[in-house]
Amino acid sequence: MRLAADSGEAASSAEHSSWRLNVSDFCIPDQRPKDPSFASHICSYGKQRKIANYYRKQEGLLKEFSEMENFSDLGCLPGAPSEDELKEVARSERMAINISNIANLVLFVAKVYASVVSQSMAVIASTLDSFLDLLSGVILLVTSNAMRKPNQYSYPIGKKRMQPVGIIVFASVMATLGFQVIFESGRQILEQAHPNSNPEKEKWMIGIMVSVTVVKFILLLYCRMFKNEIVKAYAQDHFFDVVTNSIGLLTAILGIKYLWWIDPLGAIVIAIYTISTWARTVLENVWSLIGQTAPPEYLTKLIYVIWNHHEEIKQIDTVRAYTFGSHYFVEVDIVLQGDMPLSQAHDIGETLQVKLENLPEVERAFVHIDFECTHRPEHKTML
């Protein structure tokens, strides 16, 4: 009798969950194309390469579906950090920012001395970069503190947009430095103006620049341990300093020992690197603020979560996800039975909203409930 009851419960459970999408229902052919060999014809190689890449993407999507399966059951991703763990991470991120700011101040003072004793244009360019590090660090610190003080009346959707705005200001200031250095270095080359060398002072300059580069490299490794975008901006700045300090030191030494114009030429190289690096940073954050759509793979994951949310969801009309800062805003239209009680429809929509907002990439989710999908769009078309 017990065995029969267990069998009946299992059959009932299977029938009850038959509406859900299951990862096991999706499979990739065992005999799918492999990466072609080098000896293959170039046209065949290109075609087979695209097919192989397609199947690799599908395998990655199935792995993400497995994560979404656990998310649908648990309401959160497996291994997601607790609230206490998130607070500890936030404290560590603040410490990384404070350490970076203090280090920038100390290293700036040291590089000012190196600039005075060497009068090297490349070293001066690196010192001006350190000064802007301090200015930009203040900008990012103010941004970080403002984000931790929510005000639901003045900022009803939060202050996370301050993060990319702060990074854009940071990057813009860094790019401005590049143009100033190019003009001054070009002037020195045209006028053939170069300082007199002093062997004793050169040793001090070399020691300071080497020490600054080592400290910046250590800070780079430390800041790369965090996922916060502001700390990542500091990590990028530390990496930039390692590169520019190395170039500045090398060109300063070559300019002193061999040809004087190598020094201002190195400053121009540093400036061009500054402009190109921070211009890319500005563009990335600008795109995040203007509402760029999420990639198709992420939209597919959202559809998987939405469909598996509740049996009464008869159709998914629309799924949108777009950037609004460093995270996504999600808009969902689902179709329920027209005669469903308002309380039940509300519970289905609200629990779906909460579930979507538990995804780490989602900041806010909006769930619209309807009883059919043949109507015109509720929002006017934006040109």
Give me the pLDDT at residue 346, please: 94
pLDDT of residue 351: 92
pLDDT, residue 360, reads 82
What pLDDT sits at residue 323? 87
Q: Which pLDDT score, from 0 to 100, does residue 140 have? A: 66
Give me the pLDDT at residue 34, please. Answer: 54
User: How does pLDDT run along the chain (383 residues), one tens digit per residue?
Assistant: 443 444 444 444 444 467 777 766 666 666 555 555 544 555 556 677 777 777 777 777 777 777 666 665 555 555 555 566 556 667 777 787 778 878 888 888 888 887 777 777 777 777 777 776 677 667 666 776 776 777 777 777 776 777 777 777 777 777 777 777 788 778 777 877 666 666 666 777 788 888 888 888 888 888 888 777 667 777 877 888 888 788 878 887 887 777 777 878 888 887 787 778 777 777 878 888 888 889 888 898 899 889 888 889 999 988 999 988 778 999 999 999 989 999 999 999 999 999 999 888 888 899 999 888 776 766 665 55
Domain annotation for the chain: domains and CATH numbers: 83-289 (1.20.1510.10), 296-370 (3.30.70.1350)
pTM comes to 0.62
pLDDT value of residue 331? 93
Q: Would you say 212 and 111 are in contact if contact means Cβ atoms under 8 Å apart? A: yes
